[in-house]
Amino acid sequence: MLLLVACFSVLLVLLARRRRKKTTASTDPPSLNDHRLISHHELIRATDDFSEANLLGRGSFGSVFRGRLDDGLDVAVKVLNLEMEAASRSFDAECRALRVVRHRNLIKIISTCSTLDFKALVLQYMPNGSLERWLYSHNYCLSLLQRINIMLDVASALDYLHHHHPQVVLHCDLKPSNVLLDEDMNAHVGDFGIAKLLLGDSKSMVSASTPGTIGYIAPEYGSTGRVSRSVDVYSYGILLLEIITRKKPTDAMFEGESSLRKWVCEAHPTAVLDIVDNNLLKDEHVDPITRHQCLSASLELGLLLCSKDSPKDRILMKDVLPRLQKIKKNYLSKQPRA
């Protein structure tokens, strides 16, 4: 009888462990192993051996090539330059940040390929290239509505990363070259090479790695290395000012104590039309008063609410979205119907 009771007790323990193991496995986030497997040889075929003809661009830690996989899917292949010490850390950071994110305005990671002497990310291909190309090329021009939609798409992506993801993801390097446009001109945020994850209830962390790009870095990030949601909000504010004015924060006109923020501040709100991208003033189908209101409200959002010097004075991305949606609604409500 005692032997039977003992056996029954052991069985109960084993069943409990098995049930606990199943529960743990089901709640673990999916890993990169859940993505499709793509070999180094397939990437060589896809990119014609990483030919210059397929080069889309070069970044801080490597190069990006257009490729077509064996099944016909067009992709962007980001090949890390492993001669750079920080390249492997960049690869790991991007994998950590992208492995479980699911949002329409974030670049999708299709797979990775990693060996001792080769590391690459296989990413969703964006046929319309980067926002930077559309802002500064003489062959392209973005309408005011397109710019509003791009600002909304980027804000939506950051709102998801900051407030609706199981772990807070900080991009830390938001700029026009990291905003990519699909075939319908929807914006997708990419390049998470220096992204940071906030663990638990952490509000901020100190990063020992290289901060983002000069001109877009929040003051506290550049001086102390401290990163928080507010760091991305600051960069977003600078990006918003750049989209409206078509001026880089690193433009030669901003020397000494001058900056893009100060230049906009001096013009807002009375001389807004003197600093905005002149292309925005050429559309005769847009009501001038409505256009001015939209431009002024957008610059106010970037200048006074997102890019303040002190992080405590900046709003959150979840509060940026409704303001932008209101700007778009007001703009569309006053446009003449076709």
Secondary structure (DSSP) of 50-75:
T-GGGEEEE-SSEEEEEEE-TTS-EE
Q: In sequence order, what are the beta bridge partners of 58?
A: 63
Secondary structure (DSSP) of 310-332:
SGGGSPPHHHHHHHHHHHHHHHH
* Residue indicated by tokens 């940071």: 196
313 is catalytic: no
- Residues sharing a CB contact under 8 Å with residue 254, sequence separation 6 or more, in sequence order: 260, 263
**Token representation of residue 157:** 């992506």
What gap in Å lies between CA 73 and CA 283, rounded to an integer? 38
Q: Provide the sign of the torsion angle of the four alpha carbons 122, 125, 131, 133, taken in this order.
A: positive
Q: Which of 74, 92, 159, 173 is catalytic?
A: 173
238 sits in which H/E element: helix 229-245
**Token representation of residue 171:** 């991009």
Q: What angle, rounded to 10 degrees, do the helices at 288-300 and 144-163 form?
A: 30
In degrees and rounded to multiples of 5, residue 322 shows phi and psi of -65, -30
What gap in Å lies between CA 69 and CA 62, rounded to an integer? 20
- DSSP helix, strand, coil percent of the chain (3-state; round to 5): 45, 15, 40
Burial 254-282, CB ≥16 within 10 A → b, else e: beeeebbbebbeebbeeebeebbbeebee
**Token representation of residue 115:** 């060996």
* Residue indicated by tokens 């029954």: 8
Query: What 3-state class would DSSP assign to 168?
Result: strand
In 10 A of CB 225, how many CB atoms? Answer: 14
Q: Is the peptide bond before 288 cis (omega within 30 degrees of 0)?
A: no
Residues recognised as catalytic: 173
